[in-house]
Every structure is written in C-alpha cells, then in structure tokens.
Structure 1
C-alpha cells in the first residue's frame, strides 16, 4: 500500500478508505470488527455476498476481495472516481439519481439473486406507529415530542402501517438503503454502493425509502418530483402512501431509542428523516 485516505459519510463504525497500491491501482477498502457494534460485521458479510452475486451490468463497484478473520471483515472494491451528490441537492443530480434508480429497478426485476423478502428484512422494524401507540396507551411515553398532527392521527397511522407488507411486496431486488451517501456520481454513471440491506420487493420501494433524506437535504421541489417519478413508474398511489407511513413510523420510533453501539449520530439523522417523511405523508393523505 502506498497511501490511504479515510472517507467520511455513512454510519458504519468501521474503516472506510480509498487506497493506492504500490503498483498504482486504486481500491476502496472497508473493514469492521466486533467492537463497538457486534452487528456490523454481519452487515459487511451480507454486503459481500450480495455484491458478488449482482450482475456485471449493475452500476455497482465490483467486489475484489472479502476477508473474514477473527471477527473482522475486510472488503475491497474497485475504486470509483466519483463524488456524492451535492448537499443541498442540485436539481440535475437529483434527476440523474432518480433516472438511475428507475433503470436499476428494471435491471433487477425479477431479482437475479436470492435475497430476503422485504417483509423478512424490515418486518420487525416497520411497526413504529403501533409501538408508539402502545407506549402512549401504557403511559410509557406521552408523545409530547411528536408532531401534534401525528398525535391526532396516531390510530389512523398505526392502522395503515399494518398493511405495508402487502403494499411493498414485489419481485425486484431493492437496495433497501438508498441515500445520497450510498451514491457516487461519475461523469457518465450513477454508481450505487453499500448493499447489505438488499431485499426482494416492489421496484419503487427505494424511491420511497430515499425520499425522506432527499426532502431533509433540501432537494428542490422534492415531494412533487418524487410523486411525479412514482406516478410515471406506475406505482399505486395508495400503496406508496402505506409504505411511506410505515417508513415515517420506523424513523420516528427509532429516533427516541438509545443509539446503537458506535453510532452516536444515527438517532438525530433518523429524527430528521422521520419529520421529513411525516411532511410527505401529510401532503399525500390530506388528513386533518
């Protein structure tokens, strides 16, 4: 190794670096051990399995090596000479990412690899509104921190959330965690990285999942452009709203839990996404 530059962004507690080898080649290396977050190595193992199995036509950096040794997992990918989308989002970059996500969903439908269903992947997590409702009923949380509109509509949100698994079902391989920090823009391509959460579900799921972060990060006219994109792809509006409600509940419920080991900033990020998702839910439902 000749040099290494640490890369910022994302929420992994491990190492992420762009490395120049002595022969001039460049690779991207990520590594994590069982401390401080014992779940992190399994995510790297999942990413290795999924990335290695993706079709070569997918805009994903190839996996060059995976090493699993004494609890540590090290992955080496082909380095991409790209950049993350600007923050706040620029309109042209937003359109590029939306178009790339649409193309990727076509390429990966039906899923070319074995992966968990979206219900198996997220079923335990997407019960936020029901858990908040139960905590309120039990007197464990007065929900004073929650937006008054959400408190007024808590029962409706919990009821609608319960239908999200059927709404999100499908045959496409979805990324499951599409955000600006998992995208690299090159001169000619939009590369999608970090695939440990991949699952099989509705081909439009990633756009709904990305929406709250895009709204939070100031993409121009974000909700309207997201809605137009989903409509153009033929996504059922009621199913989209159902999944979005479940997503908002996930973010908001998790935002008030203790932070995971080694991830002290993730709860604030989830709160911001939850509040952005709630704005989009209100826009779509028109509930009072």
Structure 2
C-alpha cells in the first residue's frame, strides 16, 4: 500500500486496541501509520477495524482526521494504513493551553459534522442497550458491591434520571463517540487531528461528543467538567435536563462496563472505564445537587 517495503517501524503507545499500532517508514522514504489486529487476540477488534475503514474512507476532506490509504482483510487479520500525521497526543495530566486548544477544535468539529456527512448507524439506536446501564444492573441483581454508598443507595434514582436521555441526545450531527486524549493529535502548526473513528454515529446532538469527553478529561487530571461544559459554546446551547439525563446514562454505561470481566487482550480497559464512570458520577451529583 505504501509502494515499498517497510524499513523502520515505531510502536505507538496509548489506546486499548490489542493489535499493532505503528508509525512506519518505507525504504523509499514514504511514511504511514499502520494498525492491525487478529481475531485470535480479540474476536471483536477486527470488526471495529472494518468499521473504522468504512468510516474513515467516507469522511470528507475538511474533517481533521488522517486519510485512509488502504486496508487489508483476510478474515482473521485486518490492517489499516493511514497517512502519518506528524503530531503528538496531549500531555497527561492535561495542560490548560492544550485543553483549550482541543475543546475549541471539538466545537469546530461539531460544526463541520452538522449535518452528518457520513452514513453510519444512528446514535440512539446504537447506544440504547449500553446507555440503560443502571436499569440493567438493577435487573441483573447487581448490588453495587465496591461502589460508593451514594451510588448504591441511588441506583434506582439514577436509572430514572437516565431513562429519557435518547429524546435529548438525538440530533443531526455526526458524533465521534470516543473523544479522549489518546484519540487526539496536536501538530506543530496548531492543528488538532482526531483519530480512531470506528464508533462514529449519526443523528446525535451537537454537544454529545463534548459531554462524553469531559469525564475522561477529569479522570486524567483535568478541571471541573461542569465549568468546561457550561462555558463551551456547545454546552451553553444544550438543554440542561437533557445534559443531566445523558450524563446519567453515560455514567451507568461506564460503571456497568467496568464491572464486567476484561475483554481478551485488553486488561487495562475496565479500570479506565471505572475512572470515567466515577468522574461522570461526580459531575452528575453536582448537577443533581445531591
């Protein structure tokens, strides 16, 4: 796909894929970014790579995302080759200047992706089961062992608050649905590039990506998500009740996921989900004043 054999490769850190993620240079000097995974390591990951290939190939050129150069699929191994973006991930813990830069770019991304320029599954339909996390925990008889006492005693209340989220989170924007530090690249010329698009969904509210991103920012040393959200242009225009409902649904999704067995080949995912869920709950309690 790059026209010559690979002469040099450097593995990239971050993220949760159990496969290859490497910047490569061919012996002709051409650069690329390669990600590949085998179903033998994780049976779900190849499907995510296939979805990412479809989504990345469909993104308009004005979307700040790496261009897909080609893909390979033999039924077991799936590999994607992207243009290599000369950038780095934001520093963790978050720095104020870099966070401001990324949040400004998230606002611009939402405007670029409204109306949704790509045909992908609708947001609400895709997340209906996942975002019923609190009710599913109740139905499954999960007593909340290991969670903080407030969450355990308020689980029915949290399920009630989250229940109407779908009516608020629907819209005409394409959402990335997985914005976090390791899916962002900062370039030396001031650009912000968003990578990893397998979870993209259409028919989302314009503020949906911002809301899902901020608990992760908080979990990685960032400031109060309520302050960030309410002063951001996307957050200022959002229905407060809809934000609270969607935040409750997202918290339930993260907390329930964090209590499942680790997926094959990805042992660090559950603790990361727990950290996001707890940050979302902290933010939610402020909004509920409870």
TM tier relative to shorter chain: over 0.9
- The question of whether the paired residues in 2 share the 8 Å contact of 1:90 and 1:220 is answered with no
Matched, 1:271 2:274: yes
Matched, 1:189 2:194: no
Q: CA shift at 1:231, angstroms?
A: 6.0
Matched, 1:93 2:98: yes
Matched, 1:251 2:274: no
Partner deviation per Cα, 1:53-100 (whole Å, 9 max, x = no partner): 111011001000111123211100000111111000000111111110
Q: Which residue of 1 aligns with 2:231?
A: 228
Q: Partners in 2 of 1:250 and 1:192 — Cα distance?
A: 23
Q: Which residue of 2 aligns with 1:238?
A: 241
Matched, 1:29 2:56: no
Which is further off, 97-106 or 120-129?
120-129
Alignment CA distance shift 1:233-1:25 (3 Å): farther
- The question of whether the paired residues in 1 share the 8 Å contact of 2:23 and 2:33 is answered with yes
Q: CA shift at 1:230, angstroms?
A: 5.6
Matched, 1:53 2:58: yes
Q: Which residue of 2 aligns with 1:148?
A: 149
Q: How many residues were matched structurally?
A: 283
RMSD over equivalenced CA pairs, Å = 1.3
Q: CA shift at 1:159, angstroms?
A: 1.2
1:100-115 map, 5 Å = 100-115=105-120
- The question of whether the paired residues in 2 share the 8 Å contact of 1:126 and 1:247 is answered with yes
Q: CA shift at 1:221, angstroms?
A: 3.9
Q: Provide runs of 4+ in structure 1 moved above 3 Å.
A: 220-223, 230-233
Q: Partners in 2 of 1:181 and 1:103 — Cα distance?
A: 19
- The question of whether the paired residues in 1 share the 8 Å contact of 2:207 and 2:235 is answered with no
TM-score by length of 1: 0.95
Q: Partners in 1 of 2:267 and 2:234 — Cα distance?
A: 37
Q: Which residue of 2 aligns with 1:202?
A: 205
1:65-104 map, 5 Å = 65-104=70-109
Q: Partners in 2 of 1:86 and 1:226 — Cα distance?
A: 20
- The question of whether the paired residues in 1 share the 8 Å contact of 2:225 and 2:283 is answered with no
Q: Partners in 2 of 1:253 and 1:230 — Cα distance?
A: 31
Alignment CA distance shift 1:115-1:233 (3 Å): farther
- The question of whether the paired residues in 2 share the 8 Å contact of 1:110 and 1:173 is answered with yes
Structure 1's unaligned 5+ residue stretches are none
Partner deviation per Cα, 1:97-149 (whole Å, 9 max, x = no partner): 1110110111111101101111222112111110222234xxxx332312222
Equivalent position to 1:122, from 127, 130, 134: 127
Partner deviation per Cα, 1:252-278 (whole Å, 9 max, x = no partner): 111111111111110111111111110
Q: Which residue of 1 aligns with 2:171?
A: 170
DSSP 3-state at the match of 2:213: helix
Q: Partners in 1 of 2:176 and 2:214 — Cα distance?
A: 14
Q: CA shift at 1:167, angstroms?
A: 1.4
Which is further off, 146-155 or 189-198?
146-155
